[in-house]
Structures are given as structure tokens and as C-alpha cells.
Structure 1
Amino acid sequence: MLSREHLNAGHVVLKQAEHYLDDGKRLDLAQRFIAGSIQQMSRVLKYYRSRLEEKAVFDEVLEDFQKELQKLPTAQSVEQLMASEGHTREKYYSTFDTIIQHPDFIFEKRTKRPPHNRLNALISFGNSIVYTMCLSEIYKTYLDPRIGYLHSTNFRRFSLNLDIAEIFKPIIVDRLIFSLVNKKMLTKKHFEKLTDGILLSEEGRKVFISELDKKMQTTVQHRHLGKSVSYRRLIRLELYKLQKHLLGEKPYEPYTAKW
């Protein structure tokens, strides 16, 4: 006899697969993840807009974000949504030099594997940790990490953690990077030049991980629960919301920061 837990887990994964195989249901979830990501990026930009003088830079990008949000429901495919996400992220990254204003941390353009400058090295390192965090939280639910909606499912690798991470990268990784650089907790001495790129040194990684751990333990007020929860707990709650969506209990609404 299978236990109730095994039956529940099997039912959730079955529903997860159904939502992936049904083009309409998959597109709907992919739209929700993209909308959540854009809203979080907007939140970050509004936070810095209120603190910096160059408001026009932020106003232009925020206006562009609103247009992209309005276009999301008309997308006909996940590929279209990914293109929209790529456009908004490019616009978002264009504000980083205004936020940081440091000659040792100029953005230029997004580069990965390997990153070509210090800022890209920080983004890649931070994002990789958030992907791992999301994966570890998925393992505490009935969800299968191999079935994602925005990022293509491939049963040899994980994709659901990449979907969930879209909601949290701006408010966890990016804000931490701005803080570490602006407070001079990370400087150019914390990086190593490779033949084809730049990476954080071991000391730099220790500083980043230590501060990220502190951030994950800090709490924010959760308006639906009416209490404070840690950032790590927020990730788990996001997964529970997705689970309810898949089971037809309540439509998934991405978390939006309110600071």
C-alpha cells in the first residue's frame, strides 16, 4: 500500500506535468513568472529612484516595464515571453551604473560563463546560489524540480528552481550586490582575473555568502499571513502557492516586495 504522502506527491507531480503539457496552462504560468519578475525589478528601481537624483533614468525604464507588463497577456508562446523577459532585464541592467556609480564596477553588458567583469561575476555568483536555494526548498515540497514552465523542461536537469528564482533574484541578489559595493565590503581586491574572464576570489565568496546568509535570515512582513517571515521562508511559501495553483485551489500570484 502506498502511503498518503506518496499519493499526494504523485498527484501533485501528475498535475505539474499536466500543466506543462497543456500549452495554455503552461503559457499562463510562464506569464505569471515573468510578471512577477518584472514587478520585483520595478520594486528595486523604485527603491533607488527615491534615493538618487537621476530620476529620469529610472522613470524611462519603469515606463518601459509597464508597457511590457501590458503586453504579456497577448504573448502566443513561451519563447515570446522569454524575449520580453530578456528585453526588460536588459533595460533593468542599464540602470546598474547609475545605482552603483563606481569605476571598478561598471556593468557594460551581461556576460556569463565566464563573466567578463566584476559586476557580472557578482551577478552570476549570487544567481547560482539562489538557484540552489530554490532547489533545496523544492525538495521540501511535493513538486518535481525537473518540470518548469518558463524554462524548458529537460528531465536531465532542473528548471522549476530557475522559474521560482526569477521572483527572488532582483530583491535578494541585486540588492545585496548594491549594498556590498556601496558599503565597500567588496572591492576590486576580491576578484581574480582568469585568461577568459573574472571570478570572485575565495575571500570575496566568503564575504558574499556570509552577507547573503544574514539577508536570508532577515524578515519581511507578509501581508497575507499577517506576520513576518524570513526570505528563505518566502521561497517555500512561493512553492506552496504554485502547488495550490496546480491543484486548482487558488491561482498563483507571484510575491511582490513592499519596502
Structure 2
Amino acid sequence: MRHLLNTLYVMTQGAYLHIEGETLVVEIERQKRLQVPLHHLGGVVIFGDIMVSPAALHRCADDGRGVVLLDRRGQFKARLEGPLSGNILLRQAQHRAAAAQALELARGVVAGKLRNARQIVLRGARDSGNDADQEALRHSGRLLAGHIRRLPNEETLNGVRGVEGDGARVYFAAIRHLIRPDARAVFSFERRSRRPPLDRFNALISFLYTLLVHDCRSAVESVGLDAQLGFLHAVRPGRPALALDLMEEFRPLADRLALTLINRGQLTEKDFELRPGGAVYLAENGRKTVLSAYQQRKQEEVSHALLQQPTPFGLLPHIQARLLARVLRGDMESYLPFLIR
């Protein structure tokens, strides 16, 4: 299926991408290093100073294959894409829902995020061999359950956003108890920081969130929805609000991947670089490790409650985007987020 096609990540500075027949070629110092059939590619993500031929850009646009530009540290810069596809009637329904159903849809998005965050915390409590960590994680789980119960009573979008913000603070406060004790000095984590990230764990999850929002944007656009018109996230020029809405339920899964990489020792202090002013970013080797693990995770199968069959993780954003489209068309009563079991 097209949705399970690979994303090509190009990180080597000075590389050159061009079309050769029905393939995309990556050259480094005039030497061909990679040649990929176009029909195997769902998207291209390039980091830093990398050149792409006009013919390659045109072909990607014609095929509906997004090309995402990031700086060397993985910060988003731009996205190149072809004409918006999809049914205008669906986008009209999306715009009507932004006025009439935004509160209900935002509740579903936040409920999915908090429920998945709670599952991560409780699983950590079960797996931990430290009594203090177990109790802290169980306490966080109880607090998150209380935040989930509050959601149906919130009658405004700001109220729902407030519950989401409070729940996120509880969850992030619990993260340090999920990190292997002997790795906590290197991967100390007190609170979420971004633009720039101020510690290694923040640098890691910021990078993973960048990859995740790319996949979620591709998913919503693949079903014909407008990526910039969301329900939970406020609309701003150039902001993919709907993609950010969709990725909320998947953020805890990205965090779990980050914890796996740390706790298995796949990432160490040398995989990060500190910048003047306190900013911390993944170094090149660290980014390669994360990209490899992320691509592998997308191929792993998970259980989806509605499909009742094993589903590759990489397909989940596309499934959820289709479920959202069905709600907007009136074919489903309410949006059901993906829930970790």
C-alpha cells in the first residue's frame, strides 16, 4: 500500500538528488551512493545543505510525494508539495465542523493523548524495580485518570486545552522515573523545553515529533483534508493545525521510542551536541540512530481496536485520518483516537 512506502531521509551535506529513469538517485561527491525506485517512496526529507534537481522536485509534486526541508539539526524549514487533492465536499464539511464540532473533536483528541500517556506511565510502573519510581508513576497515573474524567465536563475549547496542558505537565513530570537510573545523569529531564531544547531528552523528543508531524500531515492530506484547519490547535498562518491535532494521540508512542533508545543504551552522551546559550541537539550519528529506529518502528505491528487485526504502526496516522474524515462526512458519530493496549 502506498501509505506504507518508505520515507527517504538524506543527511549527508552536499548530497545531490536527481531523477534517473523511474528512480531517485543520491550522489555524494559525484559518486552514486543510492538509487531508489520512485514507486517505493512515499516522501523525501532532507537535512541542511542538500541539492535537489528541478526535475526531481517536479516529479515529486506530480506524484503527490512531499519534500520536507529541515535544517541540519532537524528543525522544520519548509515543505514542498503539489496541488491539494481530495474532495471539496469533505473540506467544506471540515470547515463546518471547525465551527460546530470543534469542542467535541478536541475532547476526543485530548482524551486519546492523555489515555495513551497514562498507559505509558502505568506500564513503566509495572516494569520498574524501584519502589519510589513505582509509587511516583502510579500517582501520576491516578492524576492522569482524573484529568481524563474532567474532559466531558469542559464546555469550552480553552477548558479542554487547559486539561491537556495540566495533563501534559503531570506526564512530563513522571518521565524521569521511566529513564534507567544509571542514565538519568546524562538524560536529566525536568520539564518540556523547545525552540531550543535545553537538555538531551528534549532534543530527542523534539526530533521525533518533527518526524511524526510530517507523517501526520501526509496522512490528513492523503484523504483530502486541509492540514491547516484544526480543532484543538488554534489556526495560524502556515501552521499545520490538523496534523498537530492528529499527532497528539501518537506523542506518547514517540516518547516510548525515545525511552527505549535511552534505556537500551542505543543513544549516549556522545550522540548529542551542546550549543552556545544552552541549546542541545542530536549530533549526526544520533540522528542516524533515531531515524533507523523510527523507520523500524513504523514497520512493527500493533493492535487496532476498530480493525481488530495487527496493523503496522506507520499506517496508524492514515487510518485515524480516514476515521476523522468519516466523522466529518457524518458516517460515524464520534472520533475514536488510537489507544495503546
Tell me the TM-score range normalised by the shorter chain: over 0.9
Partner of residue 256, structure 1:
339
Partner of residue 322, structure 2:
240
Q: Which residue identity lines up with residue 257 of structure 1 in the other structure?
A: I
Cα distance, 1:169 vs structure 2: 1.1
Residue 90 in 1 paired to residue 169 in 2? yes
The number of residue pairs the alignment matches comes to 250
Partner of residue 140, structure 2:
61
Cα distance, 1:253 vs structure 2: 1.0
Residue 29 in 1 paired to residue 105 in 2? yes
Cα 1:21–1:205 shift into 2, 3 Å: same
Distance in 1 of aligned mates of 2:219 and 2:86: 17
Distance in 1 of aligned mates of 2:104 and 2:99: 12
TM-score norm. by structure 1 comes to: 0.92
Residue 113 in 1 paired to residue 192 in 2? no
Distance in 2 of aligned mates of 1:234 and 1:68: 25
CA contact (8 A) 2:86 2:223 kept: no
Pick the aligned partner of 1:133 from 195, 210, 215.
Answer: 215
CA RMSD of aligned residues (A): 1.5
Partner of residue 265, structure 2:
184
Cα distance, 1:83 vs structure 2: 1.6
Q: Structure 2: state its 5+ residue gaps.
A: 1-83
Partner of residue 3, structure 1:
none
Cα 1:33–1:186 shift into 2, 3 Å: same
Distance in 2 of aligned mates of 1:151 and 1:125: 20
Pick the aligned partner of 2:95 from 2, 17, 24.
Answer: 17
Equivalences for residues 95-244 of structure 1 within 5 A? 95-100=174-179, 101=181, 102=183, 103-171=185-253, 173-196=254-277, 197-244=279-326
Pick the aligned partner of 1:50 from 104, 107, 126.
Answer: 126
Distance in 1 of aligned mates of 2:315 and 2:165: 28
Partner SS state of residue 50, structure 1:
helix
Q: Which residue identity lines up with residue 17 of structure 1 in the other structure?
A: H
CA displacement, residues 198-229 of structure 1 (integer Å, 9 cap, x when unaligned) = 10001111100110100011111223223211
Distance in 2 of aligned mates of 1:69 and 1:223: 19
Distance in 2 of aligned mates of 1:26 and 1:138: 17
Q: Which residue identity lines up with residue 34 of structure 1 in the other structure?
A: V
Partner SS state of residue 335, structure 2:
coil
Between Structure 1 and Structure 2, the one with more helix by share is 1
TM-score norm. by structure 2 comes to: 0.71
Q: Structure 1: state its 5+ residue gaps.
A: 1-5
Runs of 4+ displaced beyond 4 Å = none
Specify the structure having the higher radius of gyration (Cα): 2
Q: Which residue identity lines up with residue 227 of structure 2 in the other structure?
A: P
Cα 1:222–1:201 shift into 2, 3 Å: same
